[in-house]
Amino acid sequence: MNQRERKKRTVKAETVAKTVPTAKEIKTEKIVSAVKEKKAVKPDTQGIFDNRMARKIDELRWLYMELYGNDSMFFELCDQLHRFYEERSSTLKALDQKREADPGWYKKNDMLGMMFYIDNFAGNMKGVESKLDYLEKNNVNYIHLMPFLDTPKGRSDGGYAVADFRKVQENLGTMDDLEALAGACHKKGISLCMDFVMNHTSEDHEWAKKARQGDGEYMSRYFFYDNSYIPSLYEKTVPQVFPTTAPGNFTWLPEIGHYVMTTFYPYQWDLNYGNPRVFNEMMYNFLFLANKGIDVIRIDAVPYIWKELNTPCRNLPQVHTIVRMMRLISEIVCPGVILLGEVVMEPEKVVPYFGTVEKPECHMLYNVTTMATTWHTVATRDVRLLKKQLDIVNGLPKDYVFLNYLRCHDDIGWGLDYDFLKNFSIDEVSHKKFLNDFFTGKYPDTFGRGELYNDDPRLGDARLCGTTASLCGIEKYGFEGNVVGVDRSVRYDITLHAFMLSQSGIPVIYSGDEIGQVNDYSYKDDPDKAVDSRYLHRGEFNWSLAPNRNIADTVQGKLFHALDHLEHIRSSHSVFDTTADLRTIDTWDSSILAIVRENAEEKFIGIYNFSDQDKVAWINEDDGIYTDLISGHEMEAKGVMIPAFGCFWLCRKK
Ligand code: GLC
């Protein structure tokens, strides 16, 4: 839904709320008082719930009715919201209140995340708990535990095929372990993020099993068709997510003679959010997990959750209705919990998921285009597209908080602004090939050691896998024993992290990057993983190399020390707060990017050289003496000499 339509809907909702006092108000009142009456047990916190409910219920009901027109299901939902509130621990309730009083709690300049698979990092949940000290040494106060809910082995999509939303994978622990881990994290001021995979369930989920047996109630929770006609209509307008590893959007189930919609892998069945039972139950799952102590809910693959014939089934208006309802629900039951939307798409499709400032949807979104554009810049050594991308992001309201990253568990999709690149005679298909050739080491003189993912020769649309260190050359030069090469690659790796840490938003480090972990090729020996090259950068954390972080002249030592230094600078200077103003400035060199951050106290200039040559950044910020926060040297912000792949963080007090 575009901003205009949304505004229209908002206005419509408000107008109705004001001008139709009859049926709706009476109903709303009835619901609030019925919920109150039923549960007037804990007078101390009951009032808080009632207040929140009273403030939000009009809009929630409006949206629910717009989508489902089902009063009794809405009543059930409200009743359950109260139940989950009642069940929420007093510690979490206290945290909710603290965060309600400080709504910018997650936007501060000391927020730093790290993401990892539990088994790769520490074996299991208890292992993670025992490694919290290590995470603290990384200055991390937000950890994203990659999917850990029950999932069938070999048909898991890295855990994104959930068989039971209320059960932890046995090898990783139990719900009690999760609760204990969350408690231990909270004591240390660490927030916990988890994936909420709401677009689909595993085919092993209880609902899917019943649906497969032909139970109509459960079939209606998915998209079932007894012949290929409707599926073939969908296929006309719905693009494919995994064209090579899982072509098509439907899977034929011979045992019941039906097709089922499977946008991702055939074992991930798309949920039908047109059915209010699905929405309600998934909200209960969400609240169940929130009550275990989760602070950040990552809504997986959110653009896909509503399906409609003759559309691409992406970003439909109803998706926004659902996300807004989720936001309202969390604000009623667990306002300390924030929503992180996973929208891996171009900026104009991402930004609407923030909602409007008055009616917000997600609290945070991935800055996916900046991430992909950064790697494009590494390959092209040309910062013009990156500068333009940053200008777009910096022009958005400050309430919009992006989550910045260099690498994550997924591939890098080359979703770049090809219209802009046309100005330089760069065409999409050949450019994607160039980028992939560059990072897979095919292109002469390149240092990247990545692998392709879902190579679709028809569209020339392969994506890329690999760790930051491997894409920066640490793997190649290390293998070749080229000490100078390794050194330069480490410098580049640090520069890219410095750039990421100075962007607007919250930075998240991919576990292993802090010690320059390279690709793990062992996935090729595991038949369950071999078809999915994303496992290349999902290797086990190398605890035998980790101690080298304390040895200054090792790759691990250099990276760890440098990131630690940058992170401390970031958290101790208010200019890194998400509230600071940001802009890019010209450097008169197409390989050098310069960004300015500014608040009432400080002015910061980050300068990043994406070329393999030492250069001069022809900036001319003639307003005083700056200190390079990294080296501690004082200098002017004029004609700055900058080494190949190097960076400066200039800053001056006002
Ligand atoms: C998200 C995940 C990805 C997964 C997909 C399907 O995009 O990041 O790893 O394959 O959802 O659930």
Residue with the smallest CA separation from ligand 1 atom 4 is 160
Least confident of 210-219, 239-248, 404-413, 590-599: 239-248
Contacts with 63 (C-beta within 8 Å, 6 or more apart), sequence order: 13, 321, 324, 325, 328
Atom of ligand 1 nearest to the CA of 344: 7
Query: How far is 411 from 464, CA to CA, in rounded Å?
Result: 5
φ and ψ at residue 615, rounded to 5 degrees: -140, 175
Name the nearest CA neighbour of 467 among 410, 421, 429, 397.
Answer: 410
CA of 274 to the centre of ligand 1 (A): 22
pLDDT at 456: 80
- Region 593-619 average pLDDT: 97
Q: Which of 150, 295, 300, 567 is catalytic?
A: 300
Quick check: 195 and 298 in contact, CB under 8 A?
yes
Ligand 1 neighbours (beta carbon < 6 A)? 157-158, 160, 197, 264, 300-301, 342, 409-410
pLDDT digits (tens, 9 = 90+) for 478-527: 999 999 999 999 999 999 999 999 999 999 999 999 999 999 999 999 99
Q: What percent of the chain has pLDDT over 90?
A: 89
pLDDT at 17: 38
Quick check: 361 and 327 in contact, CB under 8 A?
yes
Give one DSSP letter per residue of 15-83, joined into a string.
HHHHH-TTHHHHHHHHHHHHHHHHTTT-HHHHHHHHHHHHHHHHHHHHHHHHHH--HHHHHHHHHHHHH
The reported pTM is: 0.92
Name the nearest CA neighbour of 429 among 471, 388, 458, 386.
Answer: 458
CA of 157 to the centre of ligand 1 (A): 7
Atom of ligand 1 nearest to the CA of 200: 12
Residue 434: half-sphere exposure toward Cβ, Cα within 13 Å: 13
CA 521 to chain centre: 25
Name the nearest CA neighbour of 170 among 149, 154, 156, 155.
Answer: 149
Is residue 474 over pLDDT 60?
yes
CA of 446 to the centre of ligand 1 (A): 29
Residues 598/604/610/612 CA torsion (nearest 10 deg) = 170
Contacts with 177 (C-beta within 8 Å, 6 or more apart), sequence order: 124, 125, 126, 129, 168
> Average model confidence (pLDDT) for the chain?
93
Is residue 293 over pLDDT 90?
yes
Q: Which of 342, 514, 567, 577 is catalytic?
A: 342
Query: How far is 4 from 2, CA to CA, in rounded Å?
Result: 5
CA of 412 to the centre of ligand 1 (A): 12
Query: How far is 264 from 249, CA to CA, in rounded Å?
Result: 7
pLDDT digits (tens, 9 = 90+) for 102-152: 999 999 999 999 999 999 999 999 999 999 999 999 999 999 999 999 999
Report the DSSP pairing between strands 615-628 and 634-642. antiparallel
pLDDT at 28: 59
Helix and strand totals (H; E) in the chain = 23, 23
SS3 sequence of 476-524: HHHHHCCHHHHHHHHHHHHHHHHHHHHCCCEEEEECCHHHCCCCCHHHH
How would residue 444 be classed by pLDDT, with cut points 50, 70 and 90? confident
pLDDT at 13: 40
pLDDT at 10: 44
pLDDT at 419: 96
* Residue position matching structure tokens 């500014």: 598
pLDDT at 22: 41
pLDDT at 44: 60
Packing angle, helices 483-502 and 555-572, rounded to 10: 20
Using alpha carbons only, what angle is made at residue 322 by residues 317 and 327, rounded to the nearest 5 degrees? 125
Catalytic site residue 417?
no
How would residue 461 be classed by pLDDT, with cut points 50, 70 and 90? confident
CA of 158 to the centre of ligand 1 (A): 8
- Distance (Å) of CA 190 to CA 87, 112, 135, 350: 23, 10, 9, 27
Atom of ligand 1 nearest to the CA of 158: 9
- AA identity, residue 579: T
pLDDT digits (tens, 9 = 90+) for 623-639: 999 999 999 999 999 99
Catalytic site residue 410?
no
φ and ψ at residue 460, rounded to 5 degrees: 60, 45
Quick check: 397 and 357 in contact, CB under 8 A?
yes
